[in-house]
Amino acid sequence: MSSELIWNVIRGNNAFKITRGKTSFSSEAGNLRNKHSSKYSGLANRKVVDVNVNAAGAIELSAKRTKKAANPAASFGRVQLSKNYRSSAKAIRTLTTGYAPELRAAALARYHRLNKTAKAANMLKARAAKKAAKTAAN
């Protein structure tokens, strides 16, 4: 089925649509901006890129495999990104340029936000560990 047909079917109601006032958001996998629109929809589009945090707390890049669309368990290929910011950003830029260039800016912005959040969380953990060690020593 075409992306336009799928979008017209799910546009009005779906389980991932969240409406706050006059603005609609979406919490579906593959939606980089969390906007309820056909451009960023992870359900309607054939080519989808996603940047998320996995269960281990590492940032991973995933892309929808167009040939495996009928098998949801295998439809996304996932790659864990390194801790080096520049090499990870380059990997995102390289994948999106060849696969879905219209999503490049959104994917890089999402990676930047997730990386900044992870860095802040690590700083808080380090501070808490340092404080606990200091109180244990006294």
d(CA 42, CA 68): 15
Q: 87: buried, middle or exposed (CB in 10 Å: 19+, 13-18, 0-12)?
A: exposed
Domains of the chain: 1-45 (3.30.390.110), 47-138 (3.30.390.110)
Identify the residue with better confidence: 57 or 36: 36
Q: Which long-range contacts (CB under 8 A, 24 or more apart) does 41-48 make?
A: 41/7, 41/10, 43/6, 43/10, 43/14, 43/16, 44/3, 44/6, 44/7, 44/10, 45/3, 46/3, 47/99, 47/100, 47/103, 48/100, 48/103
Average pLDDT over every residue of 38-52: 90
Q: 49: buried, middle or exposed (CB in 10 Å: 19+, 13-18, 0-12)?
A: buried
Average pLDDT over every residue of 3-26: 92
pTM of the predicted structure, to 2 decimals: 0.82
d(CA 99, CA 94): 9
Instruction: Name the residue among 60, 104, 112 with its Cα closest to residue 85.
Output: 112
What the block records as the tokens of 95 is 């994948």
- The string of pLDDT tens digits covering residues 75-105 is 888 999 998 999 999 999 999 998 889 999 9
Residue 138 pLDDT: 76
